[in-house]
Amino acid sequence: MGLIIRLLLTAAAFVFILPLIQGIDFHGNYGAALVLSLVFGLMLWLVELSAVALSAVVTVSSLGLSLLWLIPLWILGFWLLPAFALMLTADVMPQYLSISGFGPAAIAGIVMLLIGSLTSGIYRQPRTAE
């Protein structure tokens, strides 16, 4: 249920919120937005997976010394991951979404990060004491 709500909210953001950002154009209907939200979720998963893998390789190869700069980099730059995923989504589906630079993608990435953080609590079911 939570996945469906997140999918619908992300599609609504593609239709209503992201076109308000100058430099982002959405061409399509709500069905195209649903497909875009699925592709965006896949691209976000791939971007996060590659960032974690790259961090692990750098950490292991430097015997942990790179954690001195990787941890602050993750703290300061975690909001850029949805921006990269949005740019990849626009590259994969240019007939529905066009982004004209990294600035609009970064602003839209913050919007998508907020949607993700608001809907992340929906997935977790509260445990009942037995």
From residue 81, give the alpha-carbon distance in Å to each of 39, 62, 64, 74, 103.
15, 24, 23, 10, 13
| Residue 67 pLDDT level (bands cut at 50, 70, 90) | confident
Residue 70 located in a structural domain: yes
Nearest to 79 by CA among 116, 115, 106, 59: 106
Domain count, the chain: 1
Residue 128 located in a structural domain: no
HSE-CB for 24 with a 13 A CA cutoff = 23
Q: What is the pLDDT, as a whole number, of residue 117?
A: 85
Q: In terms of residue numbers, what domain contains 29?
A: 2-123
Residue 40 located in a structural domain: yes
**What is the per-residue pLDDT across 70-116, written as a single tens digit (0 to 9) for each?**
888 888 888 899 999 999 999 999 999 999 999 999 999 999 988 88
Residue 87 located in a structural domain: yes
